[in-house]
């Protein structure tokens, strides 16, 4: 007979053999069954009481085994079969959603006549350029496209006015103490500005190691208590500051951080804007512990004539970010108000695409329709936008194929757009005919199944071909689908999201696309990074919530698999929309993509012009870049001009070098491409790269481009740096007066009627009321010679070590040494011996290329022309005109480390010129 101890041993012996099966992701249930069968005779021999214990032990083991097996199944496709009935349901509750009207939603209009006297710009005083809160403030302003200027506290005040208008609508202090402790002169100057122009101040009370209890703010009837832990935030529904933010609810739970400041006042000028309650026993009186504690307080300006909003915490708490935006709006009299209208478009990519077991089933489609209907009650006209790849229709399980059918039965309930027929990335196509054929297959599928084909919108899988641009995609889109709008996360880069922008290429509008945290693989809540807690955090005041708050246009990317399985997308969007309704006065609306695109570029017309970045500097962009392109097919240095300084001669000398290769000539502009400064830029990166050969030996070849018109182009430095941030720059400078005269003679030689009809002196003295052609010639003569101004623009994008300045007179008189210096700057090894390949030609009056050992090959007849000398009165006038520019150039050259000033510059500055 077995004792009680022996029965325990039996149970242990039953469990122990199961351990290998629990640890292995293999035949667990088979092993369990075998163990149970092998132990059955021993159970028969025990007493009745022992049998009960044995059964109980087996029951415990069964539960443990099922638990382990379930954990294993979660990571397999079978998990979808086990979890279909345990999906998340939105749990957002608030008074407004239940129809309560006891707290009316008031979005105050902050506009007043005072806003006409100030510019819509924020002046931010930070402790240091790297302080955390200062960066958070700047990022929030960038998110909302609010102009701002950052100044380090303690320095002299910047200029606050421009004529009779204030330059800033709100003053923000990252550290309120920096405002309170300003020196008397600056404080009086700043306060006077705020009173005169009705400009308000936002201040944040900083955390400190010392805990203050009832400490008075310097100079104000306001007291603070610091280093508190708080919870359960609520808003003052009667505050006139609230516009974006809706009051009436409580944000339950702990507030982030343990260094909160609360305010108490004994003057009527102060009114609480937000409250919280204590979270622990801190240094508070019994009376204070029973009352709400003011975490944000408004100063109406009764005390000293200046309105303020003071924050007792930073921007870590999501509600403070909303209140900060409302404070900017209120204190600037509406100049810094953000729009309350939000467009919302939810794309569902990959319809009909997905592995078996992860696709939409019939009940998922029913849930999709039901959720869409509920959202429509909050967002009028809302419809999910489905992107389909017809090749994979009916490629799921039998139940998933029924889901496909139900989608098409309800085709009119959704918006639709074409994905790709076979879901292939467009940049992988190098034959436009094949690309168009595949697009046509998707179009024919749509017609066959009643899917609308006139949306004018399409999305490329993985954003391929949209940016970096694959020209075939744009061309095929226009021919097959008449596409007029698309969207991507990649411009100018996937992260950070706040910097995403739109552009227009080949008349197709490209809109910035947002992410909601759901990707193809996040189909189960257990596999969501951080689980449901992290997802809810994004929804309830976190990243997703803030994305919609900050962006007037929101286009979200989701995938079909996000709507099956645990239906995370349905949960996410219904929840965040409800949370937005609870806490904001935003008006959510939806519209077809084409209408949204037109609205976007009405709001931001300046974004229509693209800025082509360098795909070689972004691993993600290289992956979705055409395989027939190479990073070595871009120039390593640019000769940027200006015109008529010797750039063609330099181009010729460089082309003689065996390791240097220029671009192919252009049929329109000869050796110059003129890409960055004109209409050619809109032809795109593919067009530009087509002018450059693929180097046979990348380490030994130096590609370059020379376009002399780049030097003084306003947009050129930004565009060039975006595409060629590591390129070196070469410029040539001569006397600006002589350069202007040379340009005038150049235009005369080419038959320009204006130059033929007017003398040089008449051109350079033309007034702003002169005929337009004359003014244009005057500007082309004079403007490029403002060397320091244009060089400063280039140096705002490129570091000085990437810029090489050539003295044009030295290039003409001593090209060998000039070219040797240039080779050293470019770090070309081995150097080319120009002394053997250049010789002075007395007939031409300049150096020419040596050919066949004893002959020279010079530039064409148009180069080195002898012009009549410039009139002395014109030279004197140009000396006066360029005096300030030449003086600035001397200072710039010294700053750049140039040891000597060019002789022509000394000559232009040598004479004392009188009017």
Q: Across residues 355-361, what is the average pLDDT? A: 96
What 2-6 contacts at long range (C-beta under 8 Å, 24+ apart), as own/partner pairs, is 2/45, 2/46, 2/47, 2/50, 4/50, 4/53
List the single range of 335-344, 724-733, 835-844 with lowest mean pLDDT. Answer: 835-844
Q: Is 620 labelled as part of a ligand binding site?
A: no
Concatenated DSSP letters for 542-565?
SHHHHHHHH-SEEEEEEEGGGGST
Residue range(s) of every CATH 3.20.20.370 domain in the chain: 341-607
Chain mean pLDDT for the chain: 89
Conformation bin of residue 566: beta by default, left when phi > 0, alpha when psi is -120 to 50: alpha
Dihedral sign for Cα atoms in the order 690, 692, 697, 698: negative
In angstroms, what CA-CA distances link 296 with 233, 274, 797, 804? 11, 5, 41, 54
Binding site annotation covers 264?
no
Whether 25 has a pLDDT exceeding 80, the answer reads no
Who contacts 222 (Cβ-Cβ below 8 Å, separation ≥6)?
216, 263, 264, 265, 267, 270, 297, 299, 310
454 burial class (0-12, 13-18, 19+ CB within 10 angstroms)? exposed
Is the domain spanning 122-332 CATH 3.40.50.880? The answer is yes
The owner of tokens 């999201």 is 497
Domain with CATH 3.40.50.300 in the chain: 634-826+872-907
Instruction: Categorize the per-residue pLDDT at 805 as very low, low, confident or very high, splitting at 50, 70 and 90.
Output: very high
Third-level CATH fold of 634-826+872-907: Rossmann fold (3.40.50)
Any catalytic annotation for residue 644? yes
Nearest of 771, 707, 781 to residue 737 by alpha carbon? 781
More reliable by pLDDT, 166 or 493: 166
Per DSSP, the chain holds a count of helices (H) and strands (E) of: 31, 31
Cβ–Cβ < 8 Å for 201, 224: no
Q: Looking at domain 341-607, which of 2.40.50.140, 3.40.50.800, 3.20.20.370, 3.30.1490.20 is its CATH number?
A: 3.20.20.370
Average pLDDT over residues 104-128: 91
Kindly report, residue by residue over 232-244, the tens digit of the pLDDT. Answer: 999 999 999 999 9
Q: Are 461 and 425 in contact (CB under 8 A)?
A: yes
Catalytic residue (one of 121, 629, 644, 706) = 644
Task: Check residue 914 and give its pLDDT.
Answer: 45
Q: Would you say residue 781 has pLDDT above 80?
A: yes
- 13 labeled part of a ligand binding site: no
The answer to whether the Cα torsion of 405, 407, 413, 414 is positive or negative is negative
Query: Which H or E run includes 497?
Result: none
Q: Is 684 annotated as a binding residue?
A: no
Whether the per-residue pLDDT at 44 is higher than 60: the answer is: no
pLDDT at 7: 39
> Range with the lowest mean pLDDT among 141-150, 354-363, 431-440, 850-859?
850-859
pLDDT in tens, 858-884: 866 555 567 899 999 999 999 999 999
198: left (phi over 0), alpha (psi -120 to 50) or beta: left
Q: How many CA atoms lie within 13 A of 365 on its CB side?
A: 22
- For the residues 104-112, what does the mean pLDDT come to? 83
Strand-strand pairing, 147-152 and 161-162:
unpaired
Asked whether the bond before 328 is cis by omega within 30 degrees of 0, the reply is no
**The pair of three-digit structure tokens given for residue 706, joined into one six-digit string:** 């020379």
- Residue 667 has a pLDDT of 85
Contact between 360 and 403 (Cβ < 8 Å) = yes
State the pairing for strand pair 215-216/200-204: unpaired
Whether residue 863 is annotated as binding a ligand: the answer is: yes
Q: Region 361-376: what's the mean pLDDT?
A: 98
Query: According to the annotation, is 145 in a ligand binding site?
Result: no
Distance CA 630, CA 622 (A): 9
Provide the CA 737 distance to its chain's centre, in angstroms. 43
Q: Give the separation between CA 851 and CA 886, rounded to whole angstroms.
A: 40
- Whole-model pTM: value is 0.85
Statement: residue 728 has pLDDT above 70: yes
Q: Are 735 and 729 in contact (CB under 8 A)?
A: no
Q: Which of 781, 747, 760 is nearest to 868 (CA)?
A: 760
Residue intervals of the chain classified under CATH 3.40.50.880 are 122-332
For the sheet with 838-841, list strands across it. 838-841, 846-851, 855-857
> For 168-227, what is each residue's pLDDT tens digit?
999 999 999 999 999 999 999 999 999 999 999 999 999 888 999 999 999 999 999 999
pLDDT (tens digit, 9 = 90+) per residue, 121-176? 999 999 998 999 999 999 999 999 999 999 999 888 999 999 899 999 999 999 99
Share of the chain above pLDDT 70, in %: 87
Tell me the C-alpha distance between 644 and 746, whole Å: 8
Residue-level pLDDT at 844: 65
Q: Please say if the pLDDT value at position 31 is more than 70.
A: no
Q: What percent of the chain has pLDDT over 90?
A: 76
Widest distance between CA atoms in the chain? 130
| Residues 276, 282: Cα–Cα separation, whole Å | 14
Rounded Cα distance between 448 and 434, Å, is: 21
pLDDT of residue 86: 64
């Amino acid at each position: 007979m077995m004792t009680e101890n022996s029965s325990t041993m039996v149970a242990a012996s039953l469990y122990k053999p199961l351990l290998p099966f629990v640890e292995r992701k293999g035949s667990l249930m088979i092993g369990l069954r075998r163990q149970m069968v092998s132990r059955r005779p021993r159970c028969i021999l025990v007493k009745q009481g022992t049998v009960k214990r044995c059964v109980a032990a087996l029951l415990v083991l069964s539960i443990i085994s099922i638990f382990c097996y379930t954990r294993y199944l979660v990571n397999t496709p079978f998990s979808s079969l086990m979890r279909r009935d345990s999906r998340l349901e939105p749990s957002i509750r608030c008074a407004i959603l239940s129809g309560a009207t006891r707290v009316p939603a008031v979005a105050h209009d902050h506009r007043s006549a005072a806003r006409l006297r100030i510019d819509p710009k924020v002046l931010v005083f930070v402790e240091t350029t790297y302080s955390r809160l200062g960066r958070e403030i700047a990022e929030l302003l960038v998110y909302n496209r609010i102009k701002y200027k950052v100044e380090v506290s303690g320095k002299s005040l910047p200029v606050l006015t421009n004529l009779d208008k204030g330059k800033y609508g709100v003053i923000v202090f990252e550290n309120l103490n920096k405002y309170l402790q300003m020196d008397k002169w600056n404080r009086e100057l700043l306060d006077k500005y705020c009173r005169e122009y009705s400009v308000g101040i936002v201040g944040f009370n900083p955390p400190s190691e010392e805990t203050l209890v009832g400490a008075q703010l310097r100079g104000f009837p306001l007291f603070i208590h610091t280093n508190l832990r708080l919870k359960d935030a609520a808003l003052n529904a009667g505050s006139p500051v609230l516009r974006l933010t809706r009051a009436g609810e409580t944000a339950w739970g702990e507030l982030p951080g343990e260094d909160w400041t609360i305010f108490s006042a004994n003057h009527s000028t102060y009114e609480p804007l937000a409250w919280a309650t204590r979270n622990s026993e801190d240094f508070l009186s019994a009376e204070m512990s029973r009352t709400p504690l003011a975490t944000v307080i408004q100063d109406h300006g009764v005390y000293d004539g200046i309105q303020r909003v003071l924050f007792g915490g930073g921007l870590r708490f999501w509600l403070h970010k909303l209140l900060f935006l409302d404070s900017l709006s209120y204190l600037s009299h509406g100049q810094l108000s953000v729009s309350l209208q939000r467009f919302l478009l939810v794309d569902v990519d990959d319809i009909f695409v997905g592995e078996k077991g992860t696709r939409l089933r019939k009940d998922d489609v029913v849930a999709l329709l039901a959720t869409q209907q509920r959202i429509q009650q909050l967002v009028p006209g809302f419809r999910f936008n489905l992107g389909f790849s017809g090749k994979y229709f009916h490629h799921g399980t039998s139940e998933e194929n029924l889901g496909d059918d139900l989608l098409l039965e309800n085709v009119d309930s959704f918006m639709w757009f074409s994905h790709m027929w076979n879901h292939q990335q467009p940049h992988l196509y190098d034959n436009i005919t094949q690309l168009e054929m595949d697009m046509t297959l998707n179009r024919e599928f749509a017609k066959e199944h009643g899917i609308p084909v006139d949306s004018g919108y399409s999305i490329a899988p993985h954003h391929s071909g949209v940016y970096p641009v694959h020209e075939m995609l744009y061309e095929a889109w226009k021919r097959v689908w008449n596409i007029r709008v698309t969207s991507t996360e990649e411009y100018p880069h996937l992260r950070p999201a706040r910097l995403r922008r739109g552009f227009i290429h080949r008349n197709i509008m490209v809109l910035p696309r947002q992410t909601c945290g759901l990707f193809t693989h996040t189909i189960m809540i257990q596999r969501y990074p951080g689980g449901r807690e992290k997802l809810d955090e994004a929804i309830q005041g976190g990243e997703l919530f803030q994305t919609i708050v900050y962006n007037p246009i929101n286009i979200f990317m989701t995938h079909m698999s996000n709507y099956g399985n645990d239906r995370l997308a349905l949960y996410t969007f219904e929840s965040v929309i409800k949370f937005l309704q609870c806490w904001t006065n935003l008006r959510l609306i939806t519209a077809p993509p084409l209408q949204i695109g037109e609205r976007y570029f009405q709001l931001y017309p300046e974004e229509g012009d693209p800025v082509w970045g360098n795909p070689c500097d972004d691993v993600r962009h290289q992956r979705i870049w055409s395989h027939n392109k190479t990073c070595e097919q871009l120039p390593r240095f640019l000769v940027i001009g200006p015109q008529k300084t010797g750039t063609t001669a330099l181009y010729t000398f460089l082309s003689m070098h065996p390791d240097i290769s220029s671009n192919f000539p252009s049929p329109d502009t000869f050796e110059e491409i003129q890409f960055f400064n004109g209409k050619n830029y809109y032809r795109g990166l593919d067009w530009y790269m087509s002018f450059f050969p693929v180097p046979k030996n990348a380490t030994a070849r130096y590609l370059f481009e020379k376009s002399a018109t780049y030097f003084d182009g306003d947009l050129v430095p930004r565009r060039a740096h975006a595409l060629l941030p590591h390129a070196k720059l070469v410029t040539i400078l001569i006397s600006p007066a002589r350069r202007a005269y040379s340009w005038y003679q150049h235009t005369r030689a080419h038959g320009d009627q204006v130059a033929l009809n007017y003398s040089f002196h008449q051109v350079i003295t033309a007034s702003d009321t002169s005929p337009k052609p004359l003014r244009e010639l005057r500007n082309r003569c004079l403007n490029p010679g403002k060397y320091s101004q244009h060089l400063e623009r280039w140096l705002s994008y490129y570091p000085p070590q990437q810029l090489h300045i050539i003295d044009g007179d030295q290039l003409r008189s001593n090209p060998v040494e000039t070219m040797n210096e240039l080779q050293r700057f470019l770090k070309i090894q081995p150097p080319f011996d120009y002394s053997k390949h250049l010789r002075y030609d007395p007939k031409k009056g300049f150096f020419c290329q040596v050919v066949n050992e004893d002959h020279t090959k010079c530039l064409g007849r148009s180069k080195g022309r002898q012009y009549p000398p410039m009139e002395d009165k014109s030279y004197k006038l140009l000396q006066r005109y360029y005096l300030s520019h030449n003086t600035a150039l001397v200072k710039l050259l010294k700053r750049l480390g140039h040891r000597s000033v060019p002789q022509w510059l000394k000559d232009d500055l040598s004479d004392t010129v009188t009017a």
